[in-house]
Amino acid sequence: MDRTLAIIKPDAVERRLTGRILERIEAEGFQIRAMRMVRMTKREAEGFYAVHRDRPFFQSLTTFMSSGPTVVLVLEAPDAVRKWRELMGATNPAQAAEGTIRRTFATSVERNATHGSDGPETAAFELAYFFRGLELTGE
């Protein structure tokens, strides 16, 4: 079993899409191992997206991610990292496959409804960014 970090971003929470996205996650066979609502500060969003600090969209992205509450989740499934990215679809919703979460719910490349870790090392960093050991080890 594998774990990945998912975030329901502020655009989707604000538009009351949380329930529909959670339903989709469970329907696709993920076990939700931990879940919490988090309103990140600007600084916390910058720490989370530190790998992107030199990208032109960094300031806008971290302002957006700290603009309202998010839902952070630990998802478990075989091959969870890849499987969750596949369910989310491409970063740019215009390029995301039909039926993916981003194709269905995103309104722009920035306001794209959900986040997912992009590999096992990233997942380990991102899970630890939001969840403590005890929350992560429970069955």
Instruction: Give the footprint of Mg ion on this chain (CB under 5 A).
Output: 118
Q: Is 123 in the site for ligand IDP (CB under 6 A)?
A: no
Q: Is 91 in the site for ligand IDP (CB under 6 A)?
A: yes
Which one of 14, 53, 57, 128 is in contact with ligand IDP (CB under 6 A)?
57
Contacts of 128 (CB under 8 A, 6+ apart): 136
List, in sequence order, the alpha helices (H) in 15-105: 18-27, 42-48, 58-65, 80-88, 101-105
> What is the maximum alpha-carbon separation in the chain?
41
Q: Find the part of the chain contacting ligand IDP (CB under 6 A) among 11-19, 38-46, 111-119, 124-132.
A: 111-119
Question: Is there a contact between 17 and 113 (Cβ–Cβ < 8 Å)?
Answer: yes
Choosing from 3, 85, 103, 115, the catalytic residue is 115
Distance CA 3, CA 35 (A): 13
Residue 72, token pair as written in the block: 């952070």
Q: Is 109 in the site for ligand IDP (CB under 6 A)?
A: yes
**Is 52 among the catalytic positions?**
no
The helix (H) or strand (E) run that includes residue 123 is helix 120-130
Which one of 13, 25, 61, 77 is in contact with ligand IDP (CB under 6 A)?
61
Judged by beta carbon distances under 5 to 8 A according to partner kind, the member of Mg ion, ligand IDP, none in contact with residue 100 is none
Q: Is 25 in the site for ligand IDP (CB under 6 A)?
A: no
Judged by beta carbon distances under 5 to 8 A according to partner kind, the member of Mg ion, ligand IDP, none in contact with residue 24 is none
Q: Is the dihedral of CA 112, 95, 26, 15 positive or negative?
A: positive
Q: Which residues bind ligand IDP (CB under 6 A)?
A: 57, 61, 91, 109-110, 112, 115, 118
